[in-house]
Amino acid sequence: MNVKTSAATCGPDLSPVLSHLGCATREEAILKYYDLVKYTAYRLAARLPDNVCVDDLFNAGVIGLMDALDKFDPAQSVSFENYAKIRIRGAMLDEIRSLDWVPRSLRQKSAELEKTCANLEQRLGRFPEDEEIAREMAISLDEYHQLLDSLKGISFLPEDLNEYISENREAAHLATAPDEVFNQIHRSELQKIVAECIEGLTEKEKVVLSLYYFEELTMKEVGAVMGYTESRISQIHTKAILKLRTRLSKRLKEEDLPRNLSGNLNR
């Protein structure tokens, strides 16, 4: 991608922002933080099928970075890197959603799996084991694991929710006072509900989510730490997401969530 071409767009006076970042030009600032764009793109791409082009994520990420430069206020107590992460990731997620890359058949399988798990959990009083889910769906255990692999990128709920309740704590400083108070109360309640749902995961699932989302390791790195293959970590991750989606859907309604999450939770 030609960063010079993308950076040449006109925009607001960036002098205070560029000075704060120690950069002489807009182009220099984009080049300085382009590694953040690449990191975010490759991290998201690892959860998506091969037909999603990483270059599209790069392009969206640069637009998100430029948006961050335009809107960042050095006077606020927010680090530019964390603010830019939010804008970059948000732009990439918007790009992915606009592509509508998930086939209808895969969405149907996802919905069927969620329904099966919810019914079994209600019947058993606990989240079902892999073998129980496979038996209920009348498929083999290998076919069930293949299904988990195929669904690995279908939901961005954890990525979005982590951004909303953790990293956006800094972005919230940019809101007006009344909005900030409301958002803080809203986030606090969401955090409590999500924490309760996460508590119901197995220790292995908790470790995978912690290493992936909070330590920011890749699936391959998580596998190396835990002694599993990357594919197995991906399956554990997908099942943990499935549990969270199933349980959150019982606790929350669409209007309880930010606009960018409601479409994913009850899809």
Higher pLDDT, 153 or 16: 16
Residue matched to tokens 């079902």 = 128
Domain 3-99 has CATH 3.40.190.10: no
* Residue 33 main-chain phi, psi, to 5 deg: -105, 10
**Can you give the pLDDT at residue 227?**
95
Separation of alpha carbons 149 and 110, rounded Å? 11
pTM of this prediction exceeds 0.95: no
Cα–Cα distance for residue pair 217/219, rounded to 1 Å = 7
pLDDT in tens, 204-261: 999 998 888 788 788 889 999 999 998 899 899 889 888 888 887 777 655 555 444 4
Alpha-carbon span 7 to 252, nearest angstrom: 41
Answer with the residue of higher pLDDT: 261 or 22. Answer: 22
Show the beta-strand stretches assigned E in the chain. Answer: none
The listed CATH number (1.10.10, 3.30.1380, 1.20.120, 2.40.30) that belongs to domain 104-150: 1.10.10
Question: pLDDT digits over 96-146, tens only?
Answer: 777 766 677 878 888 899 899 989 999 999 999 999 999 999 999 999 998
- Amino acid code (one letter) for 199: E
pLDDT given at position 51: 67
CA–CA gap between residue 179 and residue 87 (Å, rounded): 19
Report how far residue 131's alpha carbon sits from residue 135's, in angstroms, rounded to the nearest whole number: 6
> Where in the chain do CATH 1.10.1740.10 domains reside?
3-99
- Copy the structure tokens of residue 60: 């969206």
| Whole-number pLDDT of residue 236 | 92
Q: Check residue 216 and give its pLDDT.
A: 78
Q: What is the CA radius of gyration of the chain?
A: 20
Whole-angstrom distance, CA of residue 253 vs CA of residue 261: 11
Helix (H) or strand (E) holding 5: helix 3-7
Q: Which fold has domain 157-265?
A: Arc Repressor Mutant, subunit A (1.10.10)
Give first-to-last CA distance, the chain, whole Å: 34
In whole angstroms, what is the distance from residue 144 CA to residue 181 CA? 45
Nearest CA to 262 out of 246, 209, 252 is that of: 252
The segment(s) of the chain belonging to CATH 1.10.10.10 are 157-265
pLDDT per residue over 25-83, tens digit each? 999 999 999 999 999 898 888 777 666 788 899 999 999 999 999 988 888 878 899 89
Q: Which of 182, 181, 209 is nearest to 195 (CA)?
A: 209
